[in-house]
Amino acid sequence: MQIVPVIMCGGGGTRLWPASRTSYPKPFVPLMGAQSTFTQTLERVGNRALFSAPMILASEAHRFLVAGACAEADVTDARLVLEPEARDTAAAITAAALLAQRQNPQALLLVLAADHLIRDIAAFQQTCEIGLKAAEAGAIVTFGIKPQSAHTGYGYIQADATLLAPGVNRVKAFHEKPDAATASAHVAAGLLWNSGNFLMRADSFLAEIAAFEPELLEAVTASVDQAGELWGAVRLEPDAFRRARKVSVDYAVLERSGKVGVVAASYDWSDLGTWESIWELAGKDEAGNALIGEIETLDASRNYVHSPRLLTTLMGVNDLAVVVTDDAVLISDRNRSAEVKQLVARLEQRRPKIVAEPKRGYRPWGHYETLDLGPRYQVKRIVVHQGGKLSLQKHFHRAETWTVVAGSAMVEIDGTRKLVSENESVYLPLGCVHRLENPGKVPLVLIEVQCGAYLGEDDIIRIEDVYARV
């Protein structure tokens, strides 16, 4: 029997700011290597002999990010479930369990966070296989990680000697994030890190939810019953979903249920919660610096630098976390990188946009970036995926000149269609009804020069849109 991976894309964009933003959260940022952890998670459950098509739970606001990442990873069978608002993990997993059960009453679910790092796919699969028997027998099998250190940022799992199945011990207790002394005691006592991943039958999970959170189950069931469809995804009905109690699956089920087991996983795992934790996992030079991008150091040690675009130089500095993006720079004591949250809270007051959005804007048809912004003009690079199609639209305050620099564009202006190819331009007078489309086999790249007195993103009247944004 195949396992249904349930990939949870919750989690904000604050702890790894400025690389992550609320509209471009951690799972989608390439933090370790070229791939995002979301893409790595898809790959981890890519073996279709063991895993079925994944179910992906994400915020409605992130649906284009998810779809884009699935397309890039060539995952065409994923089932996307959109949460109209974040109601924490108990509600989300209950929705996933209900949807999976309707397809297959015996469905087995593997709940996975999209923003964790697990590099050893074989060891991960093996752990799933070890947990399978107990899960089939009705247990909720959590994945416990043998601690690498007395980490104070993770919860701990205490097993007892009872075996639910070979390799799966019954859980005696869950422990919250400890202080340093308690963490050391936990490690000495053989407790495991709670990785937040677990394996179970949908029906046995739902039975626990029915017992412990009947009102939550009722609300989520109603939301699933009345779910709509949005751009090929399941859209949970918002009013019912909002009635579900906001509670984590740990509080709602795992810490209260008698059916919880743990399998001790042997792979490296991290929740990549802070720049500090990313430095720990990254490859380092002889001086202990982890350097991502073009970096030059002079007498600098134990620093983390993430600067994919700008040449960054360090001189006589130690133990810093440095993150340089196209629009913001963070320079932090590496050991205090968990405090980024406070910094972001402050920025949210003064510079909300820099917390919310990356410089590159992601859209269902591709992405765009402002290259230059003057008092009465703006220049953008627009990239449209193969087959991508912008909405039919018009502007009241700006004219645009498009120059295609790669690929081909089908441009519609006031009802007339025209193919524009590399090294050709087209002018869009103020007020014209226009649409841009990539009919080709390679990405379309064009440079848009806007002229006008008002250049905000909100000067756009959408007349028709294939992505249901009208």
Instruction: Please give the residue ranges that form the binding site for its own copies (CB under 8 A).
Output: 18, 294, 296, 298, 307, 310-317, 320, 322, 324, 327-333, 336-337, 339-340, 342-343, 346-347, 350-351, 354, 371-372, 374-377, 379, 381, 399, 401, 403, 405-406, 422-423, 425, 427, 445, 447, 449, 451
Distance CA 406, CA 425 (A): 12
Closest CB 354 distance from its own copies, rounded Å: 6
Q: Which of 248, 107, 253 is nearest to 171 (CA)?
A: 253
* Residue closer to its own copies, measured from CB, 351 or 469: 351
Closest CB 176 distance from its own copies, rounded Å: 25
* Residue closer to its own copies, measured from CB, 72 or 333: 333
Can you give the C-alpha Rg of the chain in angstroms? 24
Closest CB 385 distance from its own copies, rounded Å: 16
Distance CA 283, CA 296 (A): 16
38: tokens are 């979301």
Number of C-beta neighbours around residue 453 at 10 A: 9
Distance CA 447, CA 429 (A): 16
* Residue closer to its own copies, measured from CB, 138 or 293: 293
Closest CB 342 distance from its own copies, rounded Å: 6
Q: Which of 273, 259, 239 is nearest to 152 (CA)?
A: 273
- Assess contact for 450 and 457: CB atoms under 8 A: no
Please list the residues that pair with 134 across neighbouring strands: none
Residues 6 or more apart whose CB falls under 8 angstroms from that of 334 comprise 275, 276, 279, 302, 303, 304, 319, 320, 321
Angle value at C-alpha 103, between 54 and 50, nearest 5 degrees:
40
Distance CA 120, CA 265 (A): 11
Closest CB 442 distance from its own copies, rounded Å: 12
* Residue closer to its own copies, measured from CB, 143 or 402: 402
Closest CB 207 distance from its own copies, rounded Å: 46
| Contacts within 8 Å (CB) and 24+ apart, 343-346 | 343/17, 344/14, 344/17, 345/14
* Residue closer to its own copies, measured from CB, 350 or 441: 350
* Residue closer to its own copies, measured from CB, 120 or 327: 327
Closest CB 101 distance from its own copies, rounded Å: 46
Inter-CA distances, 158 with 46, 167, 262, Å: 31, 15, 9
Closest CB 317 distance from its own copies, rounded Å: 6
1: tokens are 């029997």
* Residue closer to its own copies, measured from CB, 280 or 327: 327
* Residue closer to its own copies, measured from CB, 268 or 422: 422
Closest CB 309 distance from its own copies, rounded Å: 9
* SS3 at position 264: strand
Closest CB 272 distance from its own copies, rounded Å: 18
Residues 6 or more apart whose CB falls under 8 angstroms from that of 22 comprise 12, 13, 14, 355, 356, 357
* Residue closer to its own copies, measured from CB, 72 or 339: 339
Distance CA 452, CA 389 (A): 24
* Residue closer to its own copies, measured from CB, 239 or 294: 294
* Residue closer to its own copies, measured from CB, 310 or 419: 310
First-residue to last-residue Cα distance in the chain = 42
Closest CB 234 distance from its own copies, rounded Å: 38
Give the helix/strand (H/E) hosting 170: strand 168-175
